[in-house]
Structure 1
Amino acid sequence: MIATIDRSPQKVDFGSINERRKLALTTFDWCAVCGLPFADELRWQVVFQEGPLPTALAGEAPVHEACALYAAQVCPFLFSPHSRLGDEFRKGAVRDAMVRFVGFESTSAVNTHESGLQPGVHTLHFEHQGHADEFSYHSPDEIQERFTDALASERDLPVSDAEGVLIRLFNRLDDDGDGDVVTGAALIAGAAFAKDVFNLQA
């Protein structure tokens, strides 16, 4: 289950992005798909601009390459150009025919911005720099070989006992209880870099 979506033992909302979960991902430098740490890996992001990108700004948290390739095959909106976003604000929106993922060397800043769809609601946005690699596709079939290669080169990352506890809590099916524990830990650990964090959606 992708790490940014709302979840509970009773319900999982695959159409949502939970800003509290993004806050924890930001603070601990975890991937938005698998919820596990980055090391010296590139931070992958869907981008909509063309040409070289010295920097990019996105409302989605960054992901590992293997996770980007996985998401391209299982996320309906990334999978099919005919898929539509179904929430009340973006109903009827369709995917671009070509999807472009870019791998950046680092996340240089994270800030809050007011939503263009929901005035008064703030969401986290990630600024990346160091365009190092990329892939594009019309259909996920075109990236199957790259996905196989990415899985073959995956390696386990060292995780401290303390971070391991937070990761297990974060990835459980309970945002009403354990999810708040991790959000609280994120705030204590330094998420105050976002001065208007308490205006975040949810």
Structure 2
Amino acid sequence: MDEIPMPAPVAERPRDARGYPVLAITPWSDGKPDFAVTSTARILVCAVERRCSICGTPLRKGPVWRVVAAEEAAAISVHDNAAYTNYANTAQTVEPPGHHACMLYAAIVCPYLARPTARRGNDALVPEAEFRRGEVHGSLDGMTGAVVAFDTYEFEAGETVRFRFSGLREFLPYTLGDEHLVALRDAIAAQPTAEPCPPWLLDDESSAERRAAGYA
């Protein structure tokens, strides 16, 4: 972990007992982050305020990024490099967007995203989906996933926040996350100085919930 460059806004995140940065969409309970789930309230705040789901700082004008799983990466790769911008997926996803550098960093350091043989470390339960400890992430057509840029997103808020992304701009597939180390270094070097993350996306869960309630 110490050898992987960290985007500056991620380095400013609150840390868990091991010293790992905690995502903006990870909820806190009794002073501890719960990495097994994501917070609907925090995701809603990020969606409305156009903030990165990893670091919580604003997404500037231009493309937004997300990490897609093996199945969607394989579907995009069916199109040749000149035509993949015609790819469209109207299915909703609960995965929110973020910065280029932040999503590359997540694809490299998150064990579940970075390796085709990775297994979930904890159970997680969200509406319409259940993830069990020990589930294999898997790969398809030699891909574990991809870091992908889209022109824009829209979202619907209910029991969960669901996103649709349109205007595919860039497609960076991988089998192992660390294949993108060079791209991560370049993205960090190009990343402008970000304003601080607001307090409602740090470690105060009641503040995040109040903020989301105002939008709901």
Band the TM-score falls in, shorter-chain normalisation: 0.7 to 0.9
| Amino acid in the other structure paired with 2:26 | I
| Amino acid in the other structure paired with 2:177 | P
Q: Distance in 2 between matches of 1:90 and 1:168?
A: 30
SS at match of 2:53: coil
SS at match of 1:148: helix
Offset at residue 95 of structure 1 (A) = 1.4
Equivalent residues of 2:65, 2:147 under 8 A apart: yes
Kindly report which structure 2 residues correspond to 1:1-202, keeping only aligned pairs within 5 A, or say none: 1-8=22-29, 10-47=31-68, 48-49=71-72, 50-51=75-76, 52=84, 53-55=87-89, 57-85=92-120, 86-87=122-123, 89-91=130-132, 92-97=134-139, 98-107=144-153, 109-112=154-157, 122-157=159-194, 167-175=197-205, 177-185=206-214, 187=215, 191=216
Equivalent residues of 1:44, 1:103 under 8 A apart: yes
| Amino acid in the other structure paired with 2:59 | F
Q: Distance in 2 between matches of 1:111 and 1:178?
A: 22
TM-score, normalisation: structure 2: 0.71
SS at match of 1:182: helix
Offset at residue 54 of structure 1 (A) = 2.7
| Amino acid in the other structure paired with 1:141 | D
Report the CA distance shift for 1:129/1:139 in structure 2 as closer, same or farther (over 3 A).
Answer: same
| Identity in percent | 26
| Amino acid in the other structure paired with 1:87 | D
Q: Distance in 2 between matches of 1:146 and 1:125?
A: 28
Equivalent residues of 1:76, 1:83 under 8 A apart: yes
Equivalent residues of 1:55, 1:130 under 8 A apart: no
| Amino acid in the other structure paired with 2:94 | G
SS at match of 1:58: coil
SS at match of 2:33: coil
Equivalent residues of 2:118, 2:138 under 8 A apart: no
Offset at residue 71 of structure 1 (A) = 0.5
Offset at residue 45 of structure 1 (A) = 1.9
Q: Which runs of 4+ in 1 moved over 4 A?
A: none
Offset at residue 112 of structure 1 (A) = 4.2
Offset at residue 132 of structure 1 (A) = 0.4
SS at match of 1:24: helix
Equivalent residues of 2:65, 2:103 under 8 A apart: yes
User: Structure 1: which 5+ residue stretches go unaligned?
Assistant: 114-121, 192-202
User: Structure 2: which 5+ residue stretches go unaligned?
Assistant: 1-21, 77-83, 125-129
**Can you list the C-alpha shifts for 1:49-79, whole angstroms capped at 9, x where unaligned?**
2123234532111111101111112212112
